[in-house]
Amino acid sequence: MTPKDQKRFKVGELRPSQALTTFGVGAIIDLPNLSVMVMGLNDWPLKDTVEIGLQRLLDSVRDVLGAQVAALRSAPVVPDTRQVNPFDPSALVGIPVAPFPRWMVCPYCRRLAPLGSGLFKLETPYRTDQIRYVHANCTKPGKPPTVVPARFVVACKNGHLDDFPWRDFAHNGPTTCTGGMKLLEPSATGEAASIFVQCEGANCGAIRPMSDAFKMDLKALPVCKARRPHLRDHDECGCKTPLGLDMRMEPMLQGASNSWFGITLTALAIPQASGKLKQLVEDHWTVLEKVQSEQNIELLQTVTTQLRDLSEYTATDIWQAVQAKKTAPPDEGGDPSDLKTPEWEVFTDPDSAEKGRDFQLRAVPPPKRYAKYFETVVLAERLREVRALVGFSRIESPSDYDNPTAFPENQRARLSRTQPTWVPASEIRGEGLFFHFKEDLIQKWVKENKALDGVFLEAHRRWRIARKLEPPDEFYPGLRFVLLHSFAHALIRQLSVECGYTTASLRERIYSRNPGVDEPEMAGVLIYTAAPDSEGTLGGLVSLGRPGTLERHLDQALDNVRLCASDPLCAEHHPYRDGTTLHAASCHACLFAPETSCERGNKYLDRAVLVPTVETGEGSELAFFR
């Protein structure tokens, strides 16, 4: 590999929020001619990132990653230009990436070799999206063909990833044969059974179908070497199973949906202080924290716009508030990993919440027909959501846990070689609708439907046992969660169909806690806009919350889920009887939402808890909305 190859190049036009959700550290991105991996934080150009303030979230990130984390920062801001020479130093902004997998195939002669073999030559046109490697000495006459990534990789449950062990695999075990390799695909079905890897070594001729890779028993799979391509290293601690055995790598198709899951913590910016000035100081703390004197504030007020929201206050007033905050005793407030309880407290007492640039609530009466189900409906006229990436996983999804901080530490892949001093974050300003369910009604309903609660609990147990997660009952969210979650999905689907939101731009945030613990019960659903450019559409979602309009949408949302195009099959679906799916009457045609909208990977959903279905029948006691 030439030093030039090792240089990073930028991938143009990634939005900061995409950088986190789709293109996070350790994820593989398909470019037109190449697949690349997003590199670890050590490679990120800090100077192009912007600090994002949200103390509550930062505390929670520190709780997971350690006290050395000093800031949440945006992804590098990429200048809006397509004509960039990727190896021009000035283009080294944006998300740093490197080619992965490193084994490539020539589509013409089927030569299979790693980039380090020197067989493939890098071509760097001026458009980043056309970077490619070509097979320079191909048997094909004329222009050398562009090679493509070999689509198989191996991964382990602790987040490691490696190139597929092509040579050992073709030879049915470790080998010293150095013959040239080919990846044959006689028929273009794309199925593993019709793809063969062959060794062309003299007197060798080893050949094996790729389908074998997916049939091997555990012991035949390669032992994990703890490779971390995003950090360009191998974890020196190695890789073991929870029982201390050698971890085996599993074959995986590149681009498989379980090849990368971001582990993110999400919080809403809620008022942390009483009094308008105090709250404004809180909102601008990333700037004001660094201020050393009243003169600093005067300067900021005159030469920048950073403090324009505080223009009605004098520098003296602001300086006093800053000093008061700096000398205030540290807040003893609660468990930093519990990001939702403080939000729940504000949403259920909206009148006492200080209005600010990032947060503005207005309670409205629920629609008449729904008054018996909801305490209030709260219009969140302004919201700011911040998401921070604390790691990622492969194979196992963090949405199997009720809180990403509960994801096992040994399965969480690290973002950097050293303890991170910052983590990538994205912020979104938007608006939302909050539904505060009546607690007594929920408790009564759960009590009446113990049977279904038991079914979901059993499904939950089986799901965790299949993944060797101990203890099996842990993190069971309860039937209350199934109800709130199904309600959120029904409403997201309705609002997106009727109001032109793409489903992916609406998100749910479920506030659910069963009685019996020290903390207050929670039963609430927030639906909010989550598109990064949603600032331009402020007011659209909130206007749907007016009682008359909302009543129509609720009627429609609930009516929509009575029947599914896949009924009666969908309505009959059982959470574990035909494979453990963790959802009941629910599918892509009726209740599922895009992964980016859903907190729990489309699990714990059931239409029948909302309304009667063809399975439960009219007058069903299970339907919450009778």
Interface residues with Zn ion (CB under 5 A) are 106, 108-109, 111, 135, 138, 156, 158, 160, 177, 179, 199, 201, 204, 206, 224, 239, 247, 564, 566, 570, 587, 589-590, 598
CB of 84 to Zn ion, least distance (A): 29
Using CB atoms within 10 Å of the CB of residue 257, give its burial: 0 to 12 exposed, 13 to 18 middle, 19+ buried.
exposed
Q: Do 153 and 254 contact (CB within 8 A), yes or no? A: yes
Q: Do 501 and 529 contact (CB within 8 A), yes or no? A: yes
Nearer to Zn ion, 139 or 352 (CB): 139
CB of 252 to Zn ion, least distance (A): 13
CB of 576 to Zn ion, least distance (A): 17
**Exposure of 320 in the CB half-sphere (CA atoms within 13 A):** 6
- Which helix (H) or strand (E) segment holds residue 149: the answer is strand 148-149
Nearer to Zn ion, 112 or 280 (CB): 112
- Give the CA angle between residues 351, 357, 362 to the nearest 5°: 25
Per 3-state DSSP, what percentage of the chain is helix, strand, and coil (rounded to 5)?
Answer: 30, 20, 45
Nearer to Zn ion, 58 or 239 (CB): 239
Nearer to Zn ion, 156 or 252 (CB): 156
Nearer to Zn ion, 58 or 115 (CB): 115
CB of 474 to Zn ion, least distance (A): 20
Nearer to Zn ion, 247 or 378 (CB): 247
CB of 596 to Zn ion, least distance (A): 10
* Cis-peptide, bond into residue 101, ω within 30° of zero: yes
- Residue that the structure tokens 């097979």 belong to: 135
**Exposure of 180 in the CB half-sphere (CA atoms within 13 A):** 11
CB of 224 to Zn ion, least distance (A): 3
Q: Do 147 and 106 contact (CB within 8 A), yes or no? A: yes
Q: Do 505 and 385 contact (CB within 8 A), yes or no? A: no
Nearer to Zn ion, 73 or 228 (CB): 228
CB of 54 to Zn ion, least distance (A): 23
CB of 110 to Zn ion, least distance (A): 7
CB of 158 to Zn ion, least distance (A): 4
What is the chain's Cα-based Rg?
27
Nearer to Zn ion, 201 or 336 (CB): 201
Interatomic CA distance for residues 67 and 54, integer angstroms: 15
Please report the sign of the dihedral spanned by the C-alpha atoms of residue 24, residue 28, residue 29, residue 35. Answer: positive
Interatomic CA distance for residues 221 and 560, integer angstroms: 47
Nearer to Zn ion, 199 or 483 (CB): 199
